[in-house]
Amino acid sequence: MSRYFKYKTADALLADATAMGLDIRLSDDLSPLAQSLSIGGRTVGNRLAIHPMEGCDGELDGSPGDLTLRRYRRFGDGGAKLIWGEAAAVVPEGRANTRQLVCDAARADGLARLLDQCRRSHRDAWGDDSDLLVGLQLTHSGRYSVPRPLLAQHDPWLDPRTILDRQTGRSADADTPLLSDDDLDRLQHRYVEAAEVAARVGFDFIDLKQCHRYLLCELLSSHTRPGKYGGSFENRTRFIREVVARIRDRLPALMIATRMNVYDGIPWRTGADQLGEPEDVSYPLPSSWGTDPEDHTRPDLDEPIRLIGLLRDLGVAMVNVTMGNPYGSPHIIRPFEYPPPDGYETPEHPLIGVDRHFRLTEQIQSAYPDLPILGSGYSWLQAFIFQAGAANIRDGRVSVVGVGRASLSHPDFARFVLEGRPLDRKRICRTFSYCTALMRSKHNDLGQFATGCPPFDKEVYDPIWKEAQQTSPSSR
């Protein structure tokens, strides 16, 4: 299988993008990345952010573990002025893995320790953290919860992939009960309580996670769900609007943000030659958000743009734009060079996926030019990440550049950019998908291996990688 990233120069990358009709822009002037900006009344020192990257390395009770704290010390030291803290479940049964963080009163001390070490590391390295913004992402994993999936709606293509009983392999079907309206009403209380914990701990903002087909994202696409949380746009957006209003009423000083899918698409599967191919779907699509109901390849941002406007009016101060489903369409959420072991080969040149992220983010930013928008989809560009980010900020396509996978191997990327140095080539993420492979590895006593970058953070994660490979059921 041929690989795609063969670029030694920016001109070579741009030539390929032009030949494919893509709107990728690069700039050698990186000064836009060093500009400050105002978010929610706070001055943020630069336009560089770390995305909510889970390490799957918490304790079994949902508290941060040693590797969790290490990541946040490294993030704090690195120089990015916006650290978008990872997903923490608002209820233990809403975790996506057994080592995901939980945000509630019982885990507050651990979260306070994480935040303190992150900020202290930043102060030690940079002298001042008054222009550093650190948040926490609040989540419920819905159909991807462990040990039991909790469905908001039925999806004819995701239900067969949603395992209800791991011993028998039984999957969800049309008779699988959904979370009731009363269940969702009670869950609103848990979101408010989690926000109170995050505010008391001292996080600058909370993110209400609405992406990647976890629960709040799936509610947005619940066209066939009965009751007050399904069907119409008003009903499908009811949960997020009411939660935002309740948090604003209870905690008026707490900044609220959201990481939101603007395009779901549909699930893909492994086809001939291991290439990804779309599921055979019927139209109109019964369950997809930000997607043309008659053509899954075409984003339709009418509803996402409408919802973002409503959330802005309710007080949401920042939106992190993303798309896709890591379990069903990984090439859409994060263009990659090499797939994880359980994934398919990319069905498109990764530059097409990068361009999709940039174009849709630009549409959101253009609709709300005064709302800070954080962009995704940069990691595949490797050494050219920041030339692309600077060009996008310069041209008003985005407000802040977010770095996800690449922050695991090179958490101090911002230091290099701000000091005018090229990135450390020995630590630039090559999108090998080792981190995703570790995230999918669950065959130990904790039910989950910690994830990081085995090739470029070798001392810590190479032993974990070797253990996961040597003990994998497929290796026996």
For residue 210, the cross-strand partners are: 260
What SS3 state is found at 210? strand
Q: Residue 190's domain spans which residues?
A: 27-442
Residue 103 belongs to a domain = yes
Q: Flag whether pLDDT at 237 surpasses 50.
A: yes
Q: Is the dihedral of CA 94, 433, 83, 313 positive or negative?
A: negative
Residue 87 belongs to a domain = yes
Q: What is the mean pLDDT of the chain?
A: 96
Q: Flag whether pLDDT at 475 surpasses 90.
A: no
What SS3 state is found at 79? coil
Per residue in 77-134, pLDDT (tens digit) is 999 999 999 999 999 999 999 999 999 999 999 999 999 999 999 999 999 999 999 9
Q: Flag whether pLDDT at 159 surpasses 90.
A: yes
Q: Flag whether pLDDT at 185 surpasses 80.
A: yes
Residue 469 belongs to a domain = no
pLDDT band, very low/low/confident/very high, at 1 (cuts 50, 70, 90): very low
pLDDT at 168: 83
Residue 13 belongs to a domain = no
pLDDT (mean) for 440-450: 93
Q: Is the peptide bond before 32 cis (omega within 30 degrees of 0)?
A: no
Q: Give the chain's count of helices (H) and strands (E).
A: 15, 15
What's the gap between Cα 470 and its chain centre? Answer: 29
Q: Flag whether pLDDT at 167 surpasses 80.
A: no
Per residue in 196-233, pLDDT (tens digit) is 999 999 999 999 999 999 999 999 999 999 999 999 99
Q: Tell me what percent of the chain is helix, strand and coil, each rounded to the nearest 5.
A: 40, 15, 45
- The CATH number linked to 204 is 3.20.20.70
pTM of the model: 0.96
Report how far apart, in Å, the C-alpha atoms of 174 and of each of 159, 178, 287, 377 are. Answer: 8, 10, 14, 34
- Percent of the chain scored above 70 by pLDDT? 99
Residue 359 belongs to a domain = yes
Lowest-pLDDT range, 139-153, 232-246, 315-329, 433-447?
A: 433-447
Q: How many domains does the chain have?
A: 1
More confident residue, 473 or 38: 38
Q: Flag whether pLDDT at 173 surpasses 60.
A: yes
Residue 3 belongs to a domain = no
Residue 466 belongs to a domain = no
pLDDT at 2: 55
For residue 318, the cross-strand partners are: 257
pLDDT at 367: 98
What SS3 state is found at 329? coil
pLDDT at 52: 96
What SS3 state is found at 295? coil
* Dist CA 219 CA 240 (whole Å): 9
Per residue in 40-76, pLDDT (tens digit) is 999 999 999 999 999 999 999 999 999 999 999 999 9
Residue 38 belongs to a domain = yes
Go through 282-303 and write b for each residue having 16 or more CB atoms within 10 A of its CB, e for each that does not.
eeebbbbbbbbeeebeebbbeb
